[in-house]
Amino acid sequence: MPKLKTHSGAKDRIKLSKNNKIRARHPNISHFMQKKSAGRKRSLSGLGTLTGKGSKNIKKKLGV
């Protein structure tokens, strides 16, 4: 069976931590910012850790 290619969109947007946890940007931070509170915007900034079934699918795309 041939090797799977890495998904090029995923490799640019998603990073792996030292312990193979998925680090990615939070959703809902790109527009409609005026109605979001300052605390909510601060908590959405930076990278978040993905868990569960979604992280399993992303690891498959990254070839990990």
**What is the full per-residue pLDDT of the chain (64 aa) written as tens digits?**
788 889 899 889 999 999 989 999 998 899 999 999 999 999 999 999 988 888 888 988 888 8
Residue 38: both structure tokens together: 């300052």
Q: What CATH architecture does domain 8-62 belong to?
A: Irregular (4.10)
Which positions ≥6 away from 43 have C-beta within 8 Å?
A: 26
- Round to whole Å and give the CA distance between 8 and 32: 28
Look at residue 23 and give its three-state secondary structure.
Answer: strand
Q: What is the largest CA-CA distance in the chain?
A: 51
Domain ranges of the chain: 8-62
Would the pTM count as exceeding 0.95? Answer: no
